[in-house]
Structure 1
């Protein structure tokens, strides 16, 4: 039948961990049981596993049964006999023995393995048959039915259990288990106190170690330690470190020492045996001088530290410090130690030289070797200068930057900056450093320099440099835009240079004649408004100047047309005039033809350039010969005038033949040109409007013809048979 489990408890395997190592002690091997009970029923199988602190175990495993070596070498063996079992690995000492019992009784009391001091243990009373009324006894005394034992210790207590077991014909009989002694192992052995060195020299340090170890199954438990001299603690108890270092020991410190070790949870405390400490006394020897900073590399203004030490020597020692070439010592100290310190505050250049020290403990002074102390001087704040070939720096100028520190140990590294961006660097053993470069438009800004000799960086004052940039070729535009404009419109001319230092003066030109100027004090462009006239057809441009030369824009050609008229009104007036008098119309046409021909002759004989008032400031030169970007004026069309009358109308058309004269056709007559190339013809619709008199009739005289109001309407037309 299946055994009856009286108390259920979950048992887990112990993790393989490393125990606390101790000097000169080989850790023991340890045994694990599966299932973990030291008492089992007859014919049950139990597996034993041998492990050490460095599991998995390596090499051969040695097994012992009742002190007899078994012929088994594996890490695990299976057993079914009652007796004592031990094992050993190549890296460990012999394990503690464990007694495993295989019982043929109907009732057994089971205890787990392993059990250590301070553990809480759960016992299990188990029967082969159905059982009830289970009781647990300790040393033959009944205890409560709870089978959990709190914080067990290593003692000779015995335990057994009783129960009523169901027998034949459902009868119950009382059974008593064998007495069981729980195999409680040491949580850790009593510590040992070890001094290192075992015989310290007077005045030297000594390290005390409180050595013990935890088994691998309980390596998670924390230990704490306390050290004593005679009956006085050497430090505040408790410490997690098993070591305590005494900085110096003297002959009078040769007393007895001991230590204690205690586990935090559970609280198990053990103490070591007392140990006597022996201290040696020896004369002074091997005197040395140490300087800080090391190697004697000292910066001016720092503190110089001189450390005089002796390798050996006990008792009271007198230390003294000296600089070569001086009679008096720099200082003396008498104390019971192996070293002493002298500090010289805020060293200066005169403190450089060679130093030594002496130590004496009544047997005579012993001198150290000489050590040279050198001083390094940090750089002072550098002076920065900027040299330019002219008062106002311009693009393309070569400027030279200089940087110099008056004090500082060489070598000195100089760095040059433009708006905190590095321009370049130079390392010089002494004197000043220079840097040259050619100016561009982007070089305006703040300039400075740094001096660095690895003892600190010093920055100069800033110098502001303004680089004057010549103006670029301006862009000329007008608004409203378009190749044609109507007389009377207001045209906005705009001129703007994309580059150039302000202020910028802009000039506006019509056919190389200055229209006016505008100033842009802060840069950007400028505008000029022009009311258009019929004579304004032609080339427009502009110029920009900021004192470094005038730059001209490209020319823009603009055509001006006359204002539009009401054609219906003019035709009606013309018809009315024809009805009044055909003779008047003929006379009017003849006069108009005469005056028109006379006026055209006058226009051809006068200049085409309008007259403008001169400016108070000096105008920049604007000629086609000085400005290679200005295109030559286009060849002016040469008009030929001719009046055309349809014959049945009161309208007179002025026919204008526009002929382009070139070098090839300048000698030919207009007629021959017409034959070679069809000309462009524009008809000018001409009418006369007379002021009405009180009688509603028009009066025309010689003077009236000159004062008459002329109305024109250009009518483009292609040559017809009538024209030819």
Structure 2
């Protein structure tokens, strides 16, 4: 009985993992070992008929024909293919010249029936046939040619050989035929190492696939999803392994297949989550403007480009934690920060998903602080600022980011500016003049708005200049009894100024000018008042002395007193006439220019009340005519008589003029000046010339 050889081809696998189907070759007769001279018909089976079939013997194209059958008589491995499909599995045929052949199927499935046939060459008649397995006699077939096994199993694997003998005693032996019972693989089991559903990127993952049953050779294939990772072949039962270095992309579902030519078997799937450690995060600072300013809201953004969620982010300022936030689904997180001056410095963030925290690079943030109102300080070398001093104007803002530009002002007029590149304050030196008194201020500006200081008042003290002394006398010549005014005035100098008056370096008195200007000092002259006069101006910055002014006081001499007394005695006889004349002149004298009474315009009414009036002797007085015409004024001095008229009793005044109200003066070089300790108001004075009656001109020296 002929046994049909089944050629095993991988059956299509249902689903997305089914390989592309291959053609299948069948044999007729179904033996792989055939006597020489016989022919074997090969049939290429496909799912649908094709027009062209290509046949191979070994690796060379044997035929390309429109038929799916081919008859061959040569030993070798045959394959077929059609357009668009892979080649079929090879079928090996052996055409033997032997006399005896053991014919058996090339492969038998476990549980199938197995028939071994001991076939002799045509024309040869065998008397006995014996079957051997692994060189051991298995069964004596006698005249039968076949041995049948109903349920083949793994125990039936081995090498079989057939022996036969003719009637005449000639013996024959077939070639050995190896029988391999094909056991389909069982469903394999996939094992992942390290165990568990989580693994870390960078770990070495070992995938093991093992089928408990299945005839070798078994092909194991490993898959992640629908992507094949690799395959290996096991020559015997026991399973195989596949290793891979894990990356984030290796997360997913894994399974394996086992195939020994009877259809692949698929394992149960295994899920694997590859945990990726957080990568080094990147910190980004987002400010609303180019420069971060106090009060701005800045966003700190921290993000790791890789890392399995959830990721915990922490934010740091100079290694001090500012806050933290979770990213449950990965990505980055933000932290908002309202800036103060203290927020300048280095910032960093940290990403941690439980596999080791990763620290970002540091990012520097400079928070620009607007300048505060500056403080202006004036530094002078002494308690008072004096003309010529160099004053330092120091302007400083207590807070503000550098660089800071400082400007200095005097009464809103810019004096100059200076910069503080590293912060702090700046100074400006100013040489003082009298015009530098006034209000000073400064301004600080770092580009975020200028701030002005409070004003500082500076009073520049001007030293008193050298004063000028002026002496004002009632007449052209200073006479004993005159009231002279000493006027001292410095043209420049800060008040108050204290003036001192000196006669031959002896202080006469002093007076103050609270508002500046000059002051006066009145002095009643005596004969001792002749000499050098000066004054001094002092406002605390050094006294200044005027130039000396020489005053010569002219007064009566002792040698003149005798003749005058004589003349007066002689003139008493004519007092009555003089009085009458005086009364007559009383009405006319105020109208005469030469007889007008004049006071010092510089003196106040209070001075007039407290002092005797000063009278200026003017040329108009020369118009007065002598009372006694026989007296020659040119021959000697002129004697003046003063007559006072008091209100209320003119007759008494006239009568009393001879007893004390009549005063006679004998001036040497000019008109006389009259002083009266007390006088009723108003009063009038009449002057009359009296000629010297008797002696010739005195030779006594003038005082």
Asked if Structure 1 and Structure 2 have the same fold, meaning a TM-score greater than 0.5 normalized by the shorter chain, the answer is no
Tell me which structure has the larger Cα radius of gyration. 2
TM-score, structure 1 length as denominator? 0.36
